[in-house]
Amino acid sequence: MSLKDKIDGTKLPVHVAVIMDGNGRWAKKKGNQRIFGHKNGVKAVRDTVEAAGEIGVKYLTLYAFSTENWNRPKQEVDALMSLLVSTINSESNTLMENNVRLKSIGDIAGLPKKVQQNLSEIIQKTEKNTGLTLILALNYSARWEILNAIKNIVIDSKTKDIEVNNISNDFFEKYLNTVEIPDPDLLIRTSGEYRISNFLIWQIAYTELFFTDVLWPDFNKEEFFKAIISYQKRERRFGKTSEQIKNI
């Protein structure tokens, strides 16, 4: 029985988020430059998108570039930006063929113009696709997103009637980048690091976490299916007792 066959189609996570980590270490182990690891990470991206689509996951969010990643050597940042543009362009037809809708979260206005242009073109092109929604987190950090939400609420409060008592979870979430995207059910982080690294802090309040030692360029469909199987063995209680959950 293959790993894929072990997946229960009735208990799928709707939204899977991934912290793709370990490209640099993977390259170093092979005696290569860090960017060699990023280039090889693209295949793992492709595999993960395909695997998510195959089993019927509805949303897949990939942490591709964090606000903090600008602090890396300029050569690496430039290479990552070029890789993003070339990957977005080269995968454009595959996304259309597979009915994938592309979205982005993060401070997109802070990205190089070329990245912004390519991204917005393919987002528009895939807008009406109804299969998997692939969300790229680019120039993203959760603290930036939360502060940005607060700033926009303050701005709106000058022209709209915003009652303090009406600031609920639902209200606040409308100001986040992830508006209309359900919270992740499962978050995967590769490379044996046990951190969240400023990713979707608000949204992962009740998300199941899965950590693997596999370095991102070695991540593939089988590794993705292992994470799904682990997720399906867990009991999600959302603060309730086990008995309450079983009696639903």
Catalytic residues: 21, 69
Q: Which of the residues 154 through 213 are near ligand FPP (CB under 6 A)? A: 191
In this chain, which of 55, 81, 83, 96 binds ligand FPP, going by CB under 6 A?
Answer: 83
The least distance separating ligand FPP from the CB of residue 65, rounded to whole angstroms, comes to 6
**CB nearer to ligand FPP: pick between 16 and 84:** 84
CA dist 77 and 62 (Å) reads: 17
The b/e string for 153-178 (b: 16+ C-beta within 10 A; e otherwise) is beeeeeeeeeeeeeeeeeeebebbbb
Q: With contacts defined by CB under 6 A, name the span among 82-90, 111-119, 147-155, 220-228 that binds ligand FPP.
A: 82-90
Q: List own/partner pairs for 220-223 with CB under 8 A and 24 or more apart.
A: 220/44, 220/47, 220/48, 220/51, 221/4, 221/47, 221/48, 221/50, 221/51, 221/54, 222/3
In this chain, which of 7, 12, 60, 84 binds ligand FPP, going by CB under 6 A?
Answer: 84
Q: Does the footprint of ligand FPP cover residue 136 (CB under 6 A)? A: yes
The tokens for 212 are: 């693997």
Q: Does the footprint of ligand FPP cover residue 126 (CB under 6 A)? A: no
Q: Looking at beta carbons, which residue is closest to ligand FPP?
A: 24
CA dist 45 and 77 (Å) reads: 19
The least distance separating ligand FPP from the CB of residue 225, rounded to whole angstroms, comes to 19
The least distance separating ligand FPP from the CB of residue 11, rounded to whole angstroms, comes to 27
Q: With contacts defined by CB under 6 A, name the span among 22-30, 119-127, 169-177, 235-243 that binds ligand FPP.
A: 22-30
Q: With contacts defined by CB under 6 A, name the span among 5-13, 16-24, 222-230, 238-246 that binds ligand FPP.
A: 16-24
Q: What are 186's strand-pairing partners?
A: 16, 208
Size of the site for ligand FPP (CB under 6 A): 20
AA identity, residue 165: N
Angle at 32 between CA 111 and CA 80, to 5 degrees: 5
